[in-house]
């Protein structure tokens, strides 16, 4: 097995989003390679509870770094919401100290060829340098350097500028300056033997920004699906006309923030004729700054009796929610990742999504519905129409379920691990021959 130095700053099985993605990559890669993990001390307790004790190095943060994080958390918050472009910009010094530690700790063994491959990931955003890339090229034996998956920067559709402003999109210029002012940033991308991009948008952006590295870019979605999601049985027995023992259940899972589009889902649901809506249920899982407004909206639209707001749930409960649903509705207007869409697909749920960013790539015309982001009214009307058709047309629905499950096979973490093993093999063979 190849010996891999895996640098994952955020690697935590007990958190969601990027830390959980990092952990799942660590677990998948550990199945196909001999891994030494380098990560942050904030992940130690959770990893230890998973029995991960050996072959791991932790960066110990200082009291000053902890204080700095509390300060920037305050500065990048506004009325209970996070100003993400500002938060990400202010977080760079924290990553800088982690990156410097990794270089000081591992530059010598890397340059001496102790590892077959060095693979760095997290933060997922494509604006961070990795100084260890220099060590990969400094020794007598060049060590292949893999970066990513990196993903982000997907723009808001022009028709949804108002949502962009509510999400502080006017500060996105902060995300574009890294290529020119962050030390080591350009070298990291130019020296990478393989750059894994989490979306077509990001892949194209990297190829344009670093044309000399264009041939090294490989599309690999950063999200994946646990094997257990693939074992959920069919739910079509009792949810179609003539069978009144069950409802056709719609599901939304996500943070309740403006760009997630849950308000459009509520409006679309209210436009479904009552004769059809009486056989439907809508479950909304998640919480956020918009929850109160959305609950008021459901009441105003006269659908509160058919809409269930569940709040946050543990990630381990997502599978149960998918098992009880028939259709996943996720009209987020700017989603460069969207792991929940992959999980819903693996569970056999056709998905209705807005065609912008990663989720528009996961879903195909056979396995779901992609709504053009040309305006709020169009998204609402099309979504209402598709809810009606899919809840009434059993043949079309079942064909879509089959296509959805087939499409989702490539999203499993085990599949990603095997894909990375092939990439490692190719790079090490190339390193030897060169």
Residue 141: pLDDT band (50, 70, 90) is confident
Provide the greatest CA pair distance for the chain: 74
Query: Which residues, 6 or more positions from 34, have their beta carbon under 8 angstroms from its beta carbon?
Result: 1, 2, 3, 4
Q: What is the pLDDT of residue 357?
A: 85
Residue 173: pLDDT band (50, 70, 90) is low
20/115 same-domain check: yes
204/280 same-domain check: no
C-alpha to C-alpha distance for 315 and 329, rounded to whole angstroms: 18
Residues 332-390: pLDDT tens digits? 998 878 899 999 999 999 999 999 988 999 999 999 999 999 999 999 999 999 999 99
Burial of 242 (0-12, 13-18, 19+ CB in 10 A): exposed
36/55 same-domain check: yes
Higher pLDDT, 120 or 82: 120
CB 138 within 8 A of CB 112: no
C-alpha to C-alpha distance for 130 and 114, rounded to whole angstroms: 18
Residue 243: pLDDT band (50, 70, 90) is very low
**pLDDT > 70 in the chain, percent:** 92
Tally of structural domains, the chain = 2
Identify the CATH number of the domain in which residue 363 sits. Answer: 3.40.50.2000
Q: Which two tokens stand for residue 306?
A: 């058919």
Q: Which residues are 37's β-sheet partners?
A: 6, 56
161/292 same-domain check: no
375: left (phi over 0), alpha (psi -120 to 50) or beta: left
Q: What is the pLDDT of residue 358?
A: 87
C-alpha to C-alpha distance for 418 and 409, rounded to whole angstroms: 13
What is the DSSP code (8-state) at residue 62?
P
CB 125 within 8 A of CB 88: yes
211/256 same-domain check: no
271/246 same-domain check: yes
55/13 same-domain check: yes
Query: Which residues, 6 or more positions from 181, have their beta carbon under 8 angstroms from its beta carbon?
Result: none
192/50 same-domain check: yes
Residues 7-39: pLDDT tens digits? 999 999 999 889 999 999 999 999 999 999 999
| Backbone dihedral angles phi then psi of residue 280, each to the nearest 5 degrees | -115, 160
168/271 same-domain check: no
236-245, 275-284, 423-432, range with the lowest pLDDT: 236-245
Q: Which residues are 7's β-sheet partners?
A: 38, 120
Question: pTM for this one?
Answer: 0.89
DSSP-derived pairing of the beta strands 81-82 and 77-78: antiparallel
70-84, 216-230, 293-307, range with the lowest pLDDT: 70-84
208/259 same-domain check: no
397/326 same-domain check: yes
Print the domain residue range for 197.
3-224+412-433
137/88 same-domain check: yes
CA dihedral 14, 347, 338, 93 (to 10 degrees): 20
């Amino acid at each position: 097995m190849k010996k891999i130095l895996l640098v994952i700053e955020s690697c935590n099985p007990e958190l969601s989003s990027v830390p959980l993605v990092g952990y799942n990559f660590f677990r998948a890669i550990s199945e196909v390679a001999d891994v030494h993990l380098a990560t942050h001390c904030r992940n130690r307790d959770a990893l230890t509870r998973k029995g991960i004790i050996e072959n791991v190095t932790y960066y110990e943060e200082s009291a000053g770094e902890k204080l700095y994080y509390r300060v920037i958390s305050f500065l990048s918050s506004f009325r209970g919401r996070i100003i993400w472009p500002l938060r990400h910009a202010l977080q760079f010094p924290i990553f800088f100290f982690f990156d410097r530690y990794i270089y000081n700790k591992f530059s010598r063994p890397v340059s001496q060829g102790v590892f077959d491959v060095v693979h760095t990931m997290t933060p997922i955003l494509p604006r961070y340098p990795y100084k260890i890339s220099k060590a990969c090229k400094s020794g007598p034996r060049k060590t292949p350097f893999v970066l990513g998956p990196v993903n982000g920067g997907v723009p808001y559709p022009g028709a949804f500028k108002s949502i962009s402003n509510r999400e502080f999109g006017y500060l996105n210029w902060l995300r574009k300056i890294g290529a020119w002012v962050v030390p080591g940033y350009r070298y990291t991308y130019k020296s990478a033997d393989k750059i894994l991009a989490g979306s077509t948008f990001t892949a194209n952006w990297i190829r344009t920004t670093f044309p000399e590295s264009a041939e090294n870019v490989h599309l690999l979605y950063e999200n994946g699906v646990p094997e257990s999601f693939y074992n959920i049985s069919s739910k079509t027995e009792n949810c179609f006309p003539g069978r009144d023992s069950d409802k056709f259940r719609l599901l939304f899972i996500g943070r309740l923030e403006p760009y997630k589009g849950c308000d459009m889902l509520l409006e679309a649901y209210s436009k479904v004729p009552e004769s059809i809506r009486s056989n439907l249920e809508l479950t909304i899982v998640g919480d956020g700054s918009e929850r109160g407004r959305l609950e008021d909206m459901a009441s105003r639209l006269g659908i509160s009796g058919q809409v269930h707001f569940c709040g946050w749930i543990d990630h381990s409960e997502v599978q149960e929610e998918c098992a009880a649903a028939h259709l996943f509705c996720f009209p987020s207007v700017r989603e460069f990742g969207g792991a929940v869409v992959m999980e819903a697909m693996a569970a056999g749920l056709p998905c209705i999504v807005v065609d912008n960013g990663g989720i528009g790539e996961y879903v195909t015309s056979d396995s779901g519905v992609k709504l053009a982001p040309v305006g709020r009214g169009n998204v609402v009307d099309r979504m209402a129409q598709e809810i009606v058709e899919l809840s009434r047309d059993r043949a079309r629905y079942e064909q879509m379920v089959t296509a959805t499950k087939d499409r989702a096979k490539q999203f499993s973490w085990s599949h990603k691990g095997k894909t990375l093993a092939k990439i490692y093999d190719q790079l090490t063979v190339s390193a030897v021959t060169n």
